[in-house]
Amino acid sequence: MPAPIDTILEAARKHADEVIKPNVNAWNEAAVWPRDASDKAAALGLTGLYAPEDLGGQGLSLGDGIRVYEELGKGDGAYAFALSMHNICTFAGCGYGTDAFKETWARELTSGRKLANFALTEPQSGSDATNMYSRAVINDDGTWTINGAKAWVSLAGEADIYFTVVKTTDEPGHHDMAMIAIPADAAGLSFGPRYDTPSYEFLPLSEMYMKDVVVSEDNIILPVGQGLQGSLMAIDIARVSIASGCCGLMEAALDTALAYAKNRKMFGGKNLDLDGIQWMLGDVATELEASRLLYRAAANALGTPEGPVMAAHAKRFVPDAAVKAANTCTQVLGGMGLLKPYGMDRLSRLSQMLRIVDGTTEISRVVIGRSLQKRAKSLPDLPVPKGFGES
């Protein structure tokens, strides 16, 4: 049977309290991915959340497993994001990979001994995934030779395998796209300089370059014709996972503001006794509750026809709420909110990062807008009042 979700959530909560929170500032100063921390997360079962039990996973549904990132997000949103991407790749590899791939990689990924990440975005295309230049040529022996570049690759140079989306012809469109897993030690695979990300330096992000990289056909995750569709599903999962992590960030910001305001003396009383402070934090609390309900509904809708638009709603609303929460809670601390030990600046920057990755707020609005256009077409036309528009 799948592991009880309450047990997994408690493990994630403990990991955030005992491993992430005490160490995240040191991780950022060192600017190195904390592999010992992700190893500890793996020992708790947090690196194979959706993978089947017979491959070493926890066997959780997406609706249950995605809740883990709220707990991890209380410690750090970027750390939660990285583990969410690993779990998405593990889900794809265990669910759609070839038998040979599963034999080699499945238990390595579910156990966290090996880390995985996803590579779709390219330097010139951003959210326009169909504008892709990475190419795979299928050789006579079945191997694939890949050339191209990817951008904003997380765990760059740290992950052990990269689930990479490529085109297989020069024809426009997405019907020739596929997903193939490229091991980190593949000849011709390299990474550019790390992006400078002040509040999450421990998470390596950079461009990834493929120069005549040869990969076995055993590593095909999604065959030609299914690459974009599978990628969009992965992005939907990522968007809801980000919303989950944002709820953890919002709770961390709210708790910091409450802990400060309950003891801060001002105008003959405590800050938390002031109506203005209560109203500010009350709004944060309401938006946190609304955000939880929205991302959990979206998580349960994944894999259904409503999944993409529900993911878009969650990605549109919750990170915006997190940005607002971080700013409001910083304001409650006044000047103290600008000081590094309180961590509010880190939370503000993280919330902005989570608002952008895996589809900006504006991209979510596009998805929602298109769904409204479809809905409008199904509605009857309203009658035009008699005489209206007549000259």
Residue 363: which domain range?
229-377
> Is residue 150 located within the same domain as residue 267?
no
pLDDT for residue 173: 81
390 belongs to a structural domain: no
| Alpha-carbon span 173 to 175, nearest angstrom | 6
pLDDT for residue 367: 94
Query: What HEC string does 96-145 produce?
Result: HCCHHHHHHHHHHHHCCCCCEEEECCCCCCCCCCCCCCCEEEECCCCCEE
Domain end, chosen from 89, 115, 141, is at 115
> Any idea what the Cα angle at residue 105 is, between residues 102 and 110, rounded to 5°?
100
382 belongs to a structural domain: no
142 belongs to a structural domain: yes
Domain end, chosen from 115, 132, 151, is at 115
> Is residue 254 located within the same domain as residue 373?
yes
388 belongs to a structural domain: no
The total of structural domains in the chain comes to 3
Beta strand residue intervals within the chain, DSSP E: 116-119, 135-138, 144-154, 161-167, 177-183, 189-191, 205-215, 220-222, 265-266, 269-270
> Is residue 270 located within the same domain as residue 136?
no
> Is residue 241 located within the same domain as residue 216?
no
386 belongs to a structural domain: no
Domain end, chosen from 115, 148, 180, is at 115
pLDDT for residue 2: 58
383 belongs to a structural domain: no
> Is residue 201 located within the same domain as residue 241?
no
Kindly report the CATH number assigned to the domain that includes residue 251. 1.20.140.10
pLDDT tens over the chain, length 391 residues: 656 899 999 999 999 999 999 999 999 999 999 999 999 999 999 999 999 999 999 999 999 999 999 999 999 999 999 999 999 999 999 999 999 999 999 999 999 999 999 999 988 876 777 778 999 999 999 999 999 999 999 999 999 999 999 999 988 888 999 999 999 999 999 999 999 988 789 999 999 999 999 999 999 999 999 988 899 999 999 999 999 999 999 999 999 999 998 888 777 778 888 889 899 999 999 999 999 999 999 999 999 999 999 999 999 999 999 999 999 999 999 988 888 888 889 999 999 999 998 888 899 999 999 999 999 999 999 988 887 766 6
Kindly report the CATH number assigned to the domain that includes residue 40. 1.10.540.10
> Is residue 23 located within the same domain as residue 84?
yes
pTM of the model: 0.93
* Residues 6 or more apart in contact with residue 362 via CB below 8 angstroms: none
End-to-end CA distance of the chain: 72
| Alpha-carbon span 126 to 279, nearest angstrom | 39
Whether 144 contacts 215, CB under 8 Å:
yes
Residue 178 is classified by DSSP as: E
Paired with 145 in beta bridges are: 137, 214
CA distances from 329 to 110, 294, 339, 347, 348 (A): 37, 22, 13, 10, 10
> Is residue 193 located within the same domain as residue 260?
no
Paired with 209 in beta bridges are: 149, 190
Whether 35 contacts 82, CB under 8 Å:
no
CA distances from 102 to 91, 94, 205, 229 (A): 11, 6, 27, 21
> Is residue 87 located within the same domain as residue 198?
no
> Is residue 149 located within the same domain as residue 32?
no
Q: Max alpha carbon distance in the chain (Å)?
A: 82
> Is residue 363 located within the same domain as residue 234?
yes
> Is residue 135 located within the same domain as residue 101?
no
> Is residue 25 located within the same domain as residue 106?
yes
CA torsion, ordered 266, 267, 269, 272, to nearest 10 deg: -60
In this structure, how many other beta carbons lie within 10 angstroms of the beta carbon of residue 178? Answer: 22
